Structure formats: C-alpha cells, structure tokens
Amino acid sequence: MESIEKSIFEEEEVDLVQASSGKRLANYLIDLLGFYVFLFSFWAVIVLLSSTMMEFTVYLEKNTLLDRLITLVMYGLYMGVLEMLMKGRSFGKLITGTAVMTEDGTVPSATTLFLRGIARSVPFEALSALGNPSYPWHDKWTETLVINLKKSRLKSEY
C-alpha cells in the first residue's frame, strides 16, 4: 500500500472565502456594543477622577458635532488597538468565526491592523460597507479582507 506524504516544505494552497455581508454586519453591531461599553466605562472613570473632565463632558453635551467627531476618532482607535492586540480579530469576529487577512492569506502586521482601525474614523466610511460582497474602505485602503474561517483554507491556523 502506497502512502502519500506531504512535505512540510511544500507551500500550502490558500483559499480565502470572504465573510458574508450578514456576518460583517453582525461583527459591526457586536463591536459597536463593545465600544460603547468601553466608552461608558472610560468616561465614568475619567469623570470620577477629574472635575475638569466633568466640565468638558457638559461642554460636549452642548456641542454635538465635537462630541460626534471625538467619538468617531475614539472608535477608530479602539478598533485599531483591539484588532492589533487580537491579531486581526475583534469581539464580533470571535463570535462570528471571521478574521482579518491580507489578500495573500497571511495575518496583517500590527501597523496594518492599526491603520485599518484608524481608517474607520473617516466620516461616512461605514456607508462604504454597503453592497454584496461587502468591501469597505478600511479593507481597500489596507489591502485586507474579512474572511470566514470555517470556509477558508489558510497558511496558518488561528
């Protein structure tokens, strides 16, 4: 009987299956919920530690545009740091079984993941995710994509 052995030096074939728009939406909603829990906790601690921050919070309530801009930038930073620390995953991606990959099937660098998060701070960036398949600006600009881990064949395991 003949045995077929695969050399550990052979390059594995990569087959990336992009995550569905529904999974992308679920990722966004789960991550947004996580962000608001983080943001509420962050501001609560800051306000408790500093009366000056309480005054700033009152000022933000009166200036909604500035409040929205600060929140948008903080969301980009939150997602960038989260995906950087979790190597291309976020809470939403962990739950839905998806991950960020480069177009060649490798885990993006920490810099790429951080820039991907910062790109989310661009106004109306979320609207770029509309469509099927979903390929928003933060993916295009960093040459990454979100894949379905169960349906994809990767160079390395997550």
Identify the CA nearest to 38 among candidates 98, 81, 97: 81
Q: Report the C-alpha gap between 29 and 34 in whole angstroms.
A: 9
Residue 92: count of CB within 10 angstroms of its CB: 23
> What pLDDT is attached to residue 158?
57
> What pLDDT is attached to residue 51?
74
Walk along the chain (158 residues) and give the pLDDT tens digit of each residue: 444 444 444 556 778 899 999 999 999 999 999 999 999 998 888 888 887 777 777 788 888 888 888 888 899 999 999 999 999 999 999 999 999 999 888 899 999 999 999 999 888 888 888 878 788 999 999 999 999 999 988 766 55
Q: What is the pTM of this model?
A: 0.80
Domain definitions of the chain by residue range: 71-152
> What pLDDT is attached to residue 111?
94
Residues with Cβ within 8 Å of 114's Cβ and at least 6 positions away in sequence, in order, are 80, 81, 83, 84
> What pLDDT is attached to residue 12?
61
Question: DSSP label at 134?
Answer: -
Task: Name the one residue in this structure whose structure tokens are 């045995």.
Answer: 3
